[in-house]
Structure 1
């Protein structure tokens, strides 16, 4: 019998690898993951980890039964109902991307970022990852292999673009690494720009031959301080992409970023208060107002595609630069504020 496209599973830690000071790879398996799955490559697939209460080595809250007991006529979504439960009992929910899904073995690989604040304190997910051991378990909410229809949670959708820009901080590195692997065997070219805490966090990535990988060790700089100018430079030097992404005849010239065609109205972007709401501006979720604020670039001429994720501040500023100043059509770019400094998810 087909299941809901998104459901809960119990996942057991079967492998732990420290890739760098900030990246810890956790591999999950066990019989509870046998129903997890998706058709095709995961790309930037998002899913939820339900972090058990501090110190617990397995879930203490029966999430699977809780979801089964939800009444669709109650007026509350399962998430709203879950939020009403004592956090000490239900645990904490955090969003991650799939680094690798090994379908035959039913193994889920997740690269977790070991975030700490200026006082050395970690959030619940990073704290759990730091103390995780083989045999520990938790719940995940993600796609069911028995579900009908497309898999939700995937935003990377370049269509027939042949020039691609990927950019993000350490929280986006696992998704970008997965996306690059999904592009192997294609003729696309482009650039991936990755800002990480230190040079020790630079990883070996498997990328198509036509891709340039640029690592930016941040050291003591602020988030985005290196990423933003690197994206500006990457767009300015991609003459071929610039000629194709600009609206109107002739596109945007390398020496004249952002004006568009003479007489063309400037693209208006609605403001997003990133301290109060999530910045999530992706083609699949464009409202009618956003559709109207996109350029008139014909679909068949959108040969450039950009995917940008990470701390919401730099993502917001890059959104304004690429859409309003450069003139990239909003249908061919995805902006995602994965997190906001000083604010916990949810």
Structure 2
């Protein structure tokens, strides 16, 4: 019988490996993951880790049984989870899957070890710091036997053959997974990764034709190095970016008029952006969220006229500014870009 697209699972720690001062790799497995699985490459698949309260080595609450009962009553897993006392249910945090080993039923998650200015870490970082073999937690993710495609995947470049990936350390696992998914694809591009220090530059396999640029942040603010690097990547004189600009110049304004050139397949309305208040809202502007009408035609002409795709994630402030730059200043078609505010400085994310 087919399961719901999203399910709750218990995952047991099989291995813990320090990749760098900021990245700790945790490999999960066990009988509880038998029903988990995206049934394809995870790309930038998001899952929810439920961190046991009080530093417990295992969940203290039968969340799986509770959610199953609530599902039968027609209550969604998230609404059901909210009903439970936080001191019992624990804390929920979102992570991307670094690797899913389907044959072995093993899930790899690269977790960020970080603290605030006072040296305090959040519940997920604290859990990761103390994780040991045999520890376990609950997670929310795609069900192996679900008929619908898994939710939580945004990377969808379509026919694009020139790709830009950019983000801070929270986006590094997703970008690494995306690059792995592209290893047999005939694409070119660049990955721009801003990390806390040079010691956080880790091994990432990129497909031929892909450049990986690491930006150790040091004492700089989040995005201070990432933003100019992304702007430079877009301006770079590669054939694909030049082609994108050449298409735009064909539709440039006539002499005497003002305003930037239109990118092919885009219109003025495509470039109008809502002013997202990132202190109150999550910045999540992805092609899948556009209405069917806004997604427009998929003719071969338009595909050839839009060879570029960008995927940008990380702290919401820089992501918001890059969103405005690419869409409003450069005129890149919104159907060809995914912008995701993974987190907001000073705010806990669920």
Is 2:317 the partner of 1:317?
no
**Residue 261 of structure 1: how far off its partner (Å):** 4.2
Question: 1:5: which partner in 2?
Answer: 5
Secondary structure, in 3 states, of the residue corresponding to 1:70? helix
**1:168-247 mapped onto 2 (5 Å cutoff):** 168-245=167-244
Q: State how far apart, in whole Å, the 1-side matches of 2:109 and 2:12 are.
A: 12
Aligned to 1:69: 69
State the SS of the aligned residue for 1:69.
helix
Matches of 2:294 and 2:217, distance apart in 1:
33
Q: Is the 8 A contact 2:159 2:303 kept in 1?
A: no
Query: What is the alpha-carbon distance in structure 1 between the residues aligned to residue 107 and residue 2 of structure 2?
Result: 22
Shift of 1:209: 1.2
Query: Matches of 1:104 and 1:241 in 2, distance apart?
Result: 38
Question: In the alignment, does 2:289 pair up with 1:279?
Answer: no
Tell me the alpha carbon deviations over residues 186-244 of structure 1, each in whole angstroms, 9 at most, x when there is no partner: 22111000000000000111001101110000001000000000000000014533344
Deviation at 1:84, TM superposition (A): 2.6
- Aligned mates of 2:149, 2:70 — CA distance in 1: 24
C-alpha distance in 1 between matches for 2:169 and 2:317: 14
Q: Cα deviations across residues 276-297 of structure 1 (Å, max 9, x unaligned)?
A: 11100000011479659xxxx9
Aligned to 2:310, what secondary structure does the other structure show? Answer: strand
Q: Which residue of 2 aligns with 1:255?
A: none
Verify the 8 A CA contact 1:143 1:152 in the aligned structure 2.
yes
**1:163 maps to what in 2?**
162
User: Does 1:24 find its partner at 2:24?
Assistant: yes
CA contact (8 A) 2:96 2:174 kept: yes
What do the CA deviations read for 1:28-82 (whole angstroms, capped 9, x no partner)? 01111111112221110011100000221101111111111115666x5331232
State the alpha-carbon separation in 2 of the partners of residues 345 and 290 from structure 1.
29
Inter-partner Cα distance in structure 2 for 1:147 and 1:164: 30
Aligned length: 336
Partner of residue 78, structure 1:
77
Q: Write the distance in 2 (CA, Å) between the matches of 1:289 and 1:310.
A: 28
| 1:139 corresponding residue in structure 2 | 138
Moved over 6 A (4+): none
Determine the C-alpha separation between the residues in 2 that align with 1:124 and 1:231: 32
User: What SS does the corresponding residue of 1:180 show, helix, strand or coil?
Assistant: helix
Question: Which residue of structure 1 aligns with residue 49 of structure 2?
Answer: 49
Residue 311 of structure 1 contacts residue 337 of structure 1 at CA under 8 Å; is this kept in 2?
yes
Partner of 2:255: none
Secondary structure in structure 1 of the residue aligned to 2:109? strand
- Could you tell me which runs of 5 or more consecutive residues in structure 1 were left unpaired when the two chains were aligned: 253-257
CA RMSD of aligned residues (A): 2.2
CA distance in 2, matches of 1:140, 1:284: 24
Q: 1:78-125: CA deviations, max 9, x gaps?
A: 312321321110001111000000111100000000121001100000
TM value normalised by structure 1: 0.92
Tell me the TM-score normalized by structure 2: 0.91
Q: CA deviation at 1:144?
A: 1.1
Distance 1:244-1:313 versus aligned 2 partners, 3 A rule: same
8 Å CA contact 2:160, 2:303 repeated in 1: no
1:51 & 1:35 partners in 2: Cα distance?
20
Task: Give the aligned partner of residue 94 of structure 1.
Answer: 93
SS of the residue 1:298 aligns to: helix
Contact map agreement 1:242 1:251 (CA 8 A) in 2: no
Paired position in structure 1 for 2:124: 125
Query: Aligned equivalents of 1:280 and 1:305: distance in 2?
Result: 16
Alpha-carbon contact 1:22-1:113 (below 8 Å) kept: yes
Change beyond 3 A, Cα 1:145–1:65: same
- The 1:198–1:61 alpha-carbon spacing in structure 2 relative to 1, beyond 3 Å, is same
Alignment partners' CA distance in 2, 1:231 and 1:4: 39
1:280-295 alignment runs, 5 A limit: 280-287=284-291
